[in-house]
Amino acid sequence: MARYIGPVCKLCRREGMKLFLKGERCYTEKCAYTRRPYPPGQHGQGRIKLSEYAVRLREKQKVRRVYGILERQFQAYYAKAARGKGRTGEEMLSILESRLDNVVHRMGFASTRPEARQLVKHNHILVNGKRVNIPSVVCRPGDKIEVREASRKNNAIVAALAQVEKRPMLSWLELDKEKFTGTFKGAPVRDELNEPAIREQLVVEYYSR
């Protein structure tokens, strides 16, 4: 399956904000965006005035990069959201937040979404007691997410859970840190999705042009 394998810090610099793609490193002075808060490349420090189209394009790219989604799959999520009954932008974010890899990350079993995706693909995660190794599976209300017994001493998982108190626990997720289990309680709440700041209406306008 195709995926981005380049330097992720350049993505933050290109979008002009922290996308928190490297977990705890993004909160330290080692963060590349903290040290060089301008776009990468020869002309990165020059003045650039974005057109209305470019503003919407950059917002779409930013959302894609935050969730680690390729263009074709992202378009499919947008099309599905557009067919929904609610506001298209919020429906789209709800689908993205309900992906298994994102839920594993949000619960604190992984420090980043790429790390969460790897845990899922390598059979470390169970959903309702069954092994699931497809990161794009959309969780449903009431689904129980847990780390399988044999993986609970995994160094990456232990390290991520040790930092979980530093992150706010979202209202639609429930975590039992001691038992390595969590519950997906229901649809994500838009007001709680504020890191990084996402303007989903610009994405809707990009695809509606």
The per-residue pLDDT for range 164-195, each reduced to its tens digit, is: 887 777 889 999 989 999 999 988 888 887 66
Average pLDDT over residues 146-165: 90
* Tens-digit pLDDT profile for residues 107-134: 989 988 889 999 999 999 999 999 999 9
Name the residue among 97, 99, 107 with its Cα closest to residue 188.
Answer: 97
User: What pLDDT does residue 5 have?
Assistant: 65
Residue 174: phi and psi, rounded to 5, are -130, 130
Pull the structure tokens for residue 82. 């557009």
Say whether pLDDT at 6 is over 80.
no
Q: What is the band of 1 on the pLDDT scale with cuts at 50, 70, 90? A: very low
Other C-beta atoms lying within 10 Å of the C-beta of residue 179: 10
Give all strands of the β-sheet with 143-147 in edge-to-edge order.
130-131, 125-127, 143-147, 181-184, 173-176
What's the token pair of residue 17? Answer: 């904000």
Q: Report pLDDT for 167.
A: 78
For residue 152, the model assigns a pLDDT of 93
Q: Which pLDDT value is given to residue 185?
A: 92
Question: Which of 13-27, 92-106, 174-188 shows the lowest per-residue confidence on average (mean pLDDT)?
Answer: 13-27
